[in-house]
């Protein structure tokens, strides 16, 4: 990429996440996604004349938890402000947000880079209400004869998380967002369903010559709602800005929008971005006072976060790689922990979960959440293998049956007679029969040909459909031949 040679990227990202409350931030309407247009609305979120907002305390709880999870200082005194601008999806033509006293500030998120761990600063996190959604009659707003406005989303609580301009490449930006989204998901701040628009990004980016301490002119690109869009946008914008700079031009400080279809950023008309938001304190809400006790209660209610969980799994004996794979998705980590409660071997469990069970999920489709193999069952399977009741090979077959039927591994092994034969008496007969049928091999072994033993073991395994305990067969053969 052109910019890598000459220029260094400087990137900061604003992340908007819908907080996981049942009701909206200032009224009792449901926040559920996907309802029929304008059914989750009331006089308050429609901004009818005379209505007043009432702050949803659960939104504050979640915002405090987010602040703590992002290593922020949570403000003891915070307030709401009105951000004034006209748009039909904004029922009051102002958005109740937080301006100069956000609920949390001065935090960081740690990422892993090629050069090692790096902290990306979190400037601030503030609460605000989401706007509604325009549903255009045509493909785009400009080609539409008319647009519907759906206010179901209006008033859904948002947390806007503003990063420092600490990222130096698209890889770092992606690492930051991946870590951020994972933390928010773990902490229960948001369901982080990007496909439903619960997380959206505005990307600020500029270029500067390598080694320069000064910042270049930045652009802000809005309307990004997936990690891949952020990557493509950064790569596009870096190329575009590098071309401008290489051509002796100057980057224009402006707001751009991401065109997903064409994979390009497009400048918004100057008129559209020339906003003076006329912020002033929201007179309909009292300032928010957050006591140390309240913050402490939220800290105690936080679940184990990804970094801590990863450390714990490494201490339990997992490789950093395996621990990383398990922590990467909250569902997977939760499944692992639940299975771990039943006491199976940690490494074997990790392997059976991430290779075998995930292999089946990938091959046959489906998610861990509705997988018929429940964590205690997987743990039981791992135990059966570990204690030698079944072989690893049989284990795979048992897992497939578990996957399609949801039955317990013990039941499958018992009913289908899959248990490993470790009974000396039972095996002795099979050994005798194999020796009787293969006198030549027995002779060879006695004559000093060690390989002949392997052949004989294989014959016993075959005779028992693989269920014989190989170690025991070995031992029996040696005794008989000795």
Partner 1 sequence: MRISDCSIRELGRLLRERELSAAELTEHYLERIERVDPATRAYITVLPEEARARARTADAALASGEEIGPLTGIPTALKDNLCLAGAPTTCASAMLADFRPPYTAAVAEKLLRAGAVVLGKLNMDEFAMGSSTEYSAFFPTHNPWDPARVPGGSSGGSAAAVAAGTAPYAIGSDTGGSIRQPAAFCGVVGLKPTYGAVSRYGLIAFASSLDQIGPLTRTVADNALIFTAIAGHDPRDSTSVPDAPADCLSGLADGVRGLKIALPQEFFTPGLAPGVEKVVRDTARRLESLGAEVSLCSLPHMDYALAAYYLIAPAECSSNLARYDGVRYGLRAPAAGMIEMFQASRSAGFGPEVKRRVMLGTYALSSGYYDAYYLRAQKTRTLIREDYARVFTDHDLILSPVTPDVAWRIGEISDPLAMYMGDIYTIPVNLAGLPGISLPAGLADGLPVGVQLIGRHFAEALLYRAAYALEQSGLFTARPALAEVD
Question: In sequence order, what are the beta bridge partners of 159?
Answer: 17, 127
- The closest of 204, 207, 249 to 7, measured between CA atoms, is 207
| Beta-sheet strand order (sheet of 157-163) | 73-74, 104-113, 116-129, 157-163, 7-18, 199-209, 219-224, 254-259, 264-267
If binding is defined by CB under 8 A, does position 69 make contact with partner 1? no
Nearer to partner 1, 50 or 439 (CB): 50
CB of residue 218 to partner 1, shortest distance in Å: 20
If binding is defined by CB under 8 A, does position 121 make contact with partner 1? no
Q: Looking at 88-96, 295-303, 333-341, 473-481, which segment touches partner 1 (CB under 8 A)?
A: 88-96
If binding is defined by CB under 8 A, does position 52 make contact with partner 1? yes
If binding is defined by CB under 8 A, does position 88 make contact with partner 1? yes
Nearer to partner 1, 39 or 451 (CB): 39
Site string for partner 1, 231-270 (x = CB under 8 A): ----------------------------------------
If binding is defined by CB under 8 A, does position 407 make contact with partner 1? no
Q: Site residues for partner 1, window 89-118 (CB under 8 A)?
A: 91-94
Q: Judged by CB under 8 A, which of 1, 48, 215, 429 binds partner 1?
A: 48
User: CB neighbours (10 Å) of residue 193?
Assistant: 12
Q: Looking at 40-48, 209-217, 227-235, 455-463, which segment touches partner 1 (CB under 8 A)?
A: 40-48
Q: Looking at 80-88, 216-224, 438-446, 448-456, which segment touches partner 1 (CB under 8 A)?
A: 80-88
If binding is defined by CB under 8 A, does position 86 make contact with partner 1? yes
If binding is defined by CB under 8 A, does position 381 make contact with partner 1? no
Q: Judged by CB under 8 A, which of 9, 10, 23, 53 binds partner 1?
A: 53
Q: Judged by CB under 8 A, which of 54, 252, 297, 316 binds partner 1?
A: 54
Q: Tokens standing for 49?
A: 């004349």
DSSP single-letter state for residue 371: -
Please state, in angstroms and rounded to a whole number, the distance separating the CA atoms of residues 16 and 461.
60
CB of residue 147 to partner 1, shortest distance in Å: 9
Would you list the DSSP string of 164-180? -S-B-SHHHHHHHHHHH
Please state, in angstroms and rounded to a whole number, the distance separating the CA atoms of residues 24 and 71.
26
Q: Looking at 82-90, 106-114, 229-237, 310-318, which segment touches partner 1 (CB under 8 A)?
A: 82-90
Nearer to partner 1, 43 or 343 (CB): 43
- Kindly tell me the burial class for residue 110, based on how many C-beta atoms sit within 10 Å of its own C-beta (0-12, 13-18, 19 or more): middle
Question: In sequence order, what are the beta bridge partners of 120?
Answer: 109
Express the helix, strand and coil content of the chain in percent, nearest 5 each.
40, 20, 40
Q: Site residues for partner 1, window 268-287 (CB under 8 A)?
A: 276, 278-280, 283-286
Please state, in angstroms and rounded to a whole number, the distance separating the CA atoms of residues 16 and 232.
19
CB of residue 46 to partner 1, shortest distance in Å: 6
Please state, in angstroms and rounded to a whole number, the distance separating the CA atoms of residues 258 and 267.
9
Q: Tokens standing for 377?
A: 């069952």
CB of residue 142 to partner 1, shortest distance in Å: 11
Helices marked H in 409-450? 409-415, 424-437, 439-446
- The closest of 96, 102, 97, 99 to 72, measured between CA atoms, is 102
User: CB neighbours (10 Å) of residue 262?
Assistant: 9
Decide if 183 contacts 72 (C-beta within 8 A): no
First to last CA, the chain: 70
Nearer to partner 1, 57 or 119 (CB): 57
CB of residue 52 to partner 1, shortest distance in Å: 5
Nearer to partner 1, 90 or 207 (CB): 90
Decide if 251 contacts 219 (C-beta within 8 A): yes
Decide if 307 contacts 70 (C-beta within 8 A): no
Q: Judged by CB under 8 A, which of 34, 49, 248, 439 binds partner 1?
A: 49
Q: Judged by CB under 8 A, which of 1, 4, 6, 43 binds partner 1?
A: 43
Q: Looking at 17-25, 48-56, 304-312, 323-331, which segment touches partner 1 (CB under 8 A)?
A: 48-56
Q: Judged by CB under 8 A, which of 51, 217, 368, 428 binds partner 1?
A: 51
DSSP single-letter state for residue 189: S
Nearer to partner 1, 84 or 123 (CB): 84
- State the Rg of the chain over Cα: 31
Q: Judged by CB under 8 A, which of 20, 55, 161, 399 binds partner 1?
A: 55
Nearer to partner 1, 96 or 221 (CB): 96
Classify residue 280 as left (phi > 0), alpha (psi -120 to 50) or beta: beta
Q: Which residues bind partner 1 (CB under 8 A)?
A: 43, 46-55, 82, 84, 86, 88, 91-94, 149, 276, 278-280, 283-286
């Amino acid at each position: 990429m052109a910019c890598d040679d000459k220029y260094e990227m400087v990137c900061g990202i604003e992340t908007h996440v819908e907080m996981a409350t049942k009701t909206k931030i200032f009224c009792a309407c449901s926040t559920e996604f996907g309802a029929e247009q304008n059914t989750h609305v009331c006089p308050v979120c429609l901004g009818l004349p005379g209505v007043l907002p009432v702050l949803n305390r659960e939104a504050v709880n979640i915002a405090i938890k987010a602040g703590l999870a992002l290593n922020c200082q949570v403000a003891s005194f915070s307030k709401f402000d009105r951000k004034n601008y006209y748009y039909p999806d904004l029922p009051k033509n102002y958005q109740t947000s937080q301006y100069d006293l956000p609920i949390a500030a001065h935090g960081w998120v740690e990422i892993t880079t090629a050069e090692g761990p790096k902290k990306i600063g979190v400037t601030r996190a503030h609460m605000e209400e989401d706007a509604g959604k325009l549903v255009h009659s045509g493909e785009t707003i400009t080609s539409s004869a008319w647009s519907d406005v759906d206010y179901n989303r209006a008033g859904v609580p948002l947390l806007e998380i503003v990063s420092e301009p600490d990222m130096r490449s698209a890889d770092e930006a992606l690492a930051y967002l991946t870590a951020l989204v994972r933390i928010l998901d773990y902490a229960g701040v948001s369901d982080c369903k990007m496909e439903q628009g619960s997380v959206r990004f505005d990307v600020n980016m500029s270029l500067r010559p390598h080694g320069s301490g000064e910042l270049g002119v930045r652009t802000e690109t809005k309307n990004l709602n997936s990690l891949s869009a952020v990557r493509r946008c950064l790569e596009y914008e870096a190329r575009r800005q590098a071309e401008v700079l290489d051509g002796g031009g100057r980057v224009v400080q402006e707001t751009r929008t991401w065109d997903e279809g064409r994979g390009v950023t497009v400048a918004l008309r100057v008129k559209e971005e020339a906003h003076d938001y006329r912020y002033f304190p929201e007179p309909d809400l009292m300032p928010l006072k957050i006591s140390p006790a309240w913050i402490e209660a939220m800290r105690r209610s936080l679940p184990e976060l990804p970094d801590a969980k990863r450390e714990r799994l490494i201490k339990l004996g997992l490789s950093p790689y395996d621990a990383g794979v398990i922590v990467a998705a909250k569902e997977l980590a939760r499944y692992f922990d639940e299975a771990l409660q039943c006491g199976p071997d940690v490494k074997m469990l990790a392997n059976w979960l991430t290779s075998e069970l995930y292999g089946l999920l990938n091959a046959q489709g489906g998610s861990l959440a509705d997988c018929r193999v429940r964590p205690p069952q997987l743990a039981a399977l791992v135990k059966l293998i570990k204690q030698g009741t079944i072989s690893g090979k049989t284990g795979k077959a048992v897992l497939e049956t578990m996957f399609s039927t949801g039955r317990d591994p013990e039941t499958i092994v018992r009913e289908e007679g899959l248990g490993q034969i470790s009974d000396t008496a039972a095996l002795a007969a099979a050994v005798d029969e194999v020796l009787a049928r293969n006198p030549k091999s027995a002779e060879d072994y006695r004559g000093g040909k060690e390989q002949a033993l392997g052949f004989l073991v294989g014959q016993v395994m075959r005779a028992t459909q693989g269920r014989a305990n190989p170690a025991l067969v070995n031992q029996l053969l040696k005794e008989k031949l000795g």
